[in-house]
Amino acid sequence: MGYGTEMDSCGRCMKYTLFFVNFIIFIGGVIIVGLATWALLDKVPWIGELVGNDLLTGAVYVLLAGGIIVALVAFFGCVGASREVKCMLLTYFIILFLLFVTMLIGGVLAYVFREKLVSTLEREMSSSMRVYDTRKVVKEAWDTTQSTLHCCGVNGWRDWGNLGLNVPESCCREIQPGQRFNCNTGPDRVNSANTYLAGCINGTQIYLQKHASTMGGAGIALACLMFLGLIFSCVLFKMIE
């Protein structure tokens, strides 16, 4: 039978608890979607080009898709719990379990990226500078990073000259939005007073680790809530006659 009979006080308590847990999961799913959208709008995929690692970008997309589905499934879980529909609870359990694994993987990927980032960042950033003039996506990534973080090169503007490249315009200080000083007169001739002097390595590391920690922590926290949902839905399923 799809619908349960009248439940005792323990069963009703379990039903309302599952309803509350699903409501929290629903809110968590919406928050994950918001965080993933923020990460994408904050150009995490572009900056990922600098470090030669797509783990964080992959984690963001996994969490974005998972968050949307989690919010929808949690909504139907609330309906299943309140109406005591066994088939809906069973379907909810199976889907939630798959999403639990997905969110856990997304969270772990973000943390793996965070740890891997420290040991490879300088090498990968230096390597990407060599293709600045030949790969559009890398050029956009460097220009976005230097303009946003107010930095130049990996350890400083001389990194560009060491590669025989002109210092990019994105290294020049802004006079006003959309207008910059002319700081570049050649690979070894730069007006340092009008140039961002700090290298980008520290700012990029902090920037990406912040996103990785936020996305990883949110994904794992939501996975823990989903695990509670799995337990309560299983118990409620057995209580419905």
Has residue 2 got a pLDDT over 50?
no
Q: How much is the mean pLDDT over the chain?
A: 76
Coil vs helix vs strand at 189: coil
Q: How far apart are CA 69 and CA 71, in angstroms?
A: 5
Six-digit token pair at 37? 């959208």
Instruction: Note the pLDDT of residue 3.
Output: 43
Instruction: Note the pLDDT of residue 82.
Output: 67
pLDDT in tens, 76-117: 777 766 666 677 777 778 888 888 888 888 777 777 776 666
Q: Which CATH class is domain 126-200?
A: mainly alpha
Instruction: Note the pLDDT of residue 5.
Output: 44
Instruction: Note the pLDDT of residue 195.
Output: 82
Six-digit token pair at 193? 């007073």
Task: Answer left, alpha or beta for residue 156, where phi above 0 means left and psi between -120 and 50 means alpha.
Answer: left
The helix (run of H) or strand (run of E) holding residue 174 is strand 174-176
Instruction: Note the pLDDT of residue 44.
Output: 61
Average pLDDT estimate for 141-157: 86
Highest mean pLDDT among 42-51, 114-123, 227-236: 227-236
Domain boundary assignment for the chain: 11-113+215-239, 126-200
Cross-strand partners of 120: none
pLDDT in tens, 176-234: 666 566 676 555 566 667 788 888 888 888 877 777 788 778 888 888 888 888 887 77
Instruction: Note the pLDDT of residue 180.
Output: 66
Phi, psi of 185 (to 5 degrees): -125, 10
Q: Buried b vs exposed e over 67-76: b needs ≥16 C-beta within 10 Å?
A: bebbbebbeb
The model's confidence at residue 46, banded by pLDDT at 50, 70 and 90, is: low
Has residue 55 got a pLDDT over 80?
no
Count CB neighbours of 119 within 10 A: 8
List the Cα angle 66/69/74 in 5-degree steps.
115
Which pTM value belongs to this model?
0.65
